[in-house]
Chain A
Amino acid sequence: MGLVFAQAPAPQAAASAVLTVTGDVATPLMLTADDLMKMPRETASVPEQDGTKVEYEGVPLREVLKRAGAPLGGQLRGKALASYVLAKAHDGYQVVFALGEVDAAFANEQILVADKRDGKPLFGYQGPFRLVCPNDKAGARSVRMLETLELVRLQK
C-alpha cells in the first residue's frame, strides 16, 4: 500500500512571544506582551461548559489594527471595505475577519487579542496570545497560539 496522503510537517512546540501585524498596513508591528499592556485594554467573559464565566483580558483587535494603520473609522469606505484580517496561529491554523466586523461604525464586534485569562498570562497551548470572539456561537475563530495578523486589501 503506497502512502496516498500528505503528511504534515513536524510541529514545533511553543508559540512565538511576539505578535506580528503585517500585510497591507501602513505600520507593520511586532508586539510583545509588554506592548499590549500599554495599549487600550478590555475584558470579555466567556461561558465555560459548567456555566461559569471565564474572563479574558487583552487589547481589542480594532485597536491593534488601528495602531498598525489599517483603514478604520473614516478610512473604512469604498475599496477599503474589501479588506480582511487573516489571523494565523503557531500551528498554521488560519481564520479571517472582515474589517467591517471590528470597526465601530459597522459591526463593532468585541474581538480581543487576549493575553490573560482570569488575571493570569495565557500559557501552554492557549498562549501567549489568542483571539477571543465573545459573540461567535462557535469557538473556531477564537484562535489559540496567535502569532500573526495579516491585513489583506483585495482592492486598492
Chain B
Amino acid sequence: MKLAVPLLAFAFAVPLAMAAEPDRAGDYQWNLPKGFPKPYVPADNPMTTAKVELGRHLFYDARMSVNGKESCATCHKQELAFTDGRAVGQGSTGELHSRSAMSLVNVAYSGALTWSDPELKSLEKQALTPMFGEHPVELGLREGDSFLPMLRADAKYRLLFERAFPTDSDRFTVLNVTKALASFERSIISARSPYDRYHYGGDDGAVSDSAKRGEILFFNQHLACFRCHGGFAFTDATVSERSAGRPVEFHNTGLYNLAGLLSYPEPNVGIFEYTKQPGDVGKFKAPTLRNIALTAPYMHDGSIPNLEGVLDHYAAGGRAHDNPNKDALVGGFVLSARDRQDLIAFLNSLTDDAVIHDPNFRNPWPGSP
C-alpha cells in the first residue's frame, strides 16, 4: 500500500470569543492539531477573530434572505456537519437546487468549491452564489435590496463591522460581507473525532475493534477508498497554505450512463459544464468523509440514501458501471457482512461531536437553540 498522507493530531480548542478590541490583520489563532497544516488564506482577507465572529452572525441571520426566514445555516446546519439532510437544497423561494448542499467542515482546505467547478476556489467569491444567484434562487438577495442598510442600522452589526473592518471608510459592503462569511467558514475545523483520538492521538480505546478493521479495509488497495478520500481531510481535493494551487482531481464514479451525448442527467454533468470536454461528463469532486455519517443522503444529487447504499454502489463498480468516463479506481470489490459492518463502523468513527456542538460555530442570535 502506498504511503497515505500521514497525520498526527490533536486535542485543541477553537478560541473564537469576540475580541474586545479590533483585531490586527492575521491575528487569528488556528490552534490546529499536529498534522493539520495551516489553511490557505487569501492575502486580501487575513483571518481575524473579529471577522470570524461577524461572519458567524451573518451566516445565521435570517434577515439575509428574501423571505426573511432563511440563512446560510438553512442548508448548512451545524448538527448535520453543516449540511441540510436533503437530497438537494431548497432556496428561500422554494426553488430546488440541482445538487446536494456540501459540508462546510474543513472547507478551508478545499482546493475547489462546490461539487464540480474546477475554477471556483475562493470562499469569498463563492458566497456571492447563494446570496445573489438566480439559477436557482437560494437566499434571493439582490444588490440594492435593503440588507446592507439593515446591517448598517443594526447596533450589533455596527459594532461587529467596526471591529472586523476598523479602517474601512464604508464598512457595509457586499465585499466585506463575503470576507466575513468566508472567515467564519474557514474557522470550522474538524479534528476531534474518535478516529482522530485513536489514530493520531494514540488512544487505543477511542474506537471499536470493528472500526479498526474498517480502517484497514478503507486503506486497502483493492477497495481503494483512500485513493480519492485520503489524507487528513479524507478527500483528494485538499490544499493548504503550503500547497495552495494544487490541482484538484474530479471523478466519475459510474452513477449514471444515459444514452445520448451526455451520460449524466442534466444539469448535473460534472466538470463538463465548465470544460466542455466529453471525457469530463460525470466528474465530480470527492467530498470529505469526515462526519460522513451525518451528511446523508449521499452523492452530488443525494441519490443514495445511506452509507450502506454507498458501499453497494462502489462494491458493484458503480451502479452504472459501464459509463465510459468511470474512474478506473471504481472497479468493484467483494465484501463480507462483517467487512461491511467494519467499514460502516470506521466511517462512523469520523463523526466529530465536538464540531457539531462547538459554541464557536453555533447560532449567536437570541432565541436560537
Interface residues of A (CB under 8 A from B): 1, 3-11, 13-15, 46, 48-52, 54, 89-93, 118, 120, 124-125, 139-145
Contacts and interface: CB of A to CB of B under 8 A. Distances in A.
Given A13-B213, A124-B199, A125-B218, A8 B334 contact: yes
A5 B321 contact: yes
A91 B222 contact: yes
A43 to B, nearest CB: 15
A148 B36 CA distance: 32
B1 A8 contact: no
Contact of B2 (A3, A6, A51, A140): A140
Given A7-B332, A11-B223, A124-B216, A1 B322 contact: yes
A14 to B, nearest CB: 6
26 contacts: A1-B321, A4-B321, A5-B317, A6-B331, A7-B332, A8-B331, A9-B222, A9-B334, A10-B333, A10-B339, A11-B220, A11-B222, A11-B339, A13-B213, A13-B342, A14-B213, A46-B6, A48-B8, A48-B34, A50-B35, A89-B1, A91-B221, A125-B215, A139-B4, A144-B1, A144-B2
A145 B1 CA distance: 7
Contacts, number: 121
Given A1-B321, A5-B317, A91 B1 contact: yes
Contact of A89 (B6, B35, B221, B231): B221
Interface string B223-234: 100000001100
A49 B1 contact: no
A72 to B, nearest CB: 25
B339 A5 contact: no
B181 to A, nearest CB: 26
B305 interface: no
B69 to A, nearest CB: 41
Contacts of B243: 49
A51 B37 contact: yes
Given A4-B321, A48-B35, A49-B35, 5 more contacts: A5-B317, A13-B216, A49-B240, A90-B1, A125-B220
B248 to A, nearest CB: 16
A46 B4 CA distance: 13
Contact of B32 (A1, A50, A141): A50
A10 B335 contact: yes
A5 B331 contact: yes
The DSSP consensus for interface residues of chain B is loop
B217 interface: yes
Contacts of B34: 48, 50, 52
Interface in B218-269: 218-223, 231-232, 240, 242-243
Contacts of A143: 1-2
B7 interface: yes
Nearest to A133: B3
Contacts of A51: 37, 242
Nearest to B37: A50
Contacts of B332: 3, 5-8
Contacts of B24: none
A49 B317 contact: no
Contacts of B321: 1, 3-5
A49 to B, nearest CB: 5
B175 to A, nearest CB: 31
B63 interface: no
B185 to A, nearest CB: 20
Contacts of B4: 125, 139, 144
Nearest to A46: B6
Contacts of B3: 139-140, 142, 144
A135 to B, nearest CB: 13
Interface string B44-77: 0000000000000000000000000000000000
Contacts of B13: none
Interface in B21-42: 32, 34-38
A14 B214 CA distance: 10
A13 B223 CA distance: 12
Nearest to A140: B2
A140 B32 CA distance: 27
A93 B317 contact: no
B133 interface: no
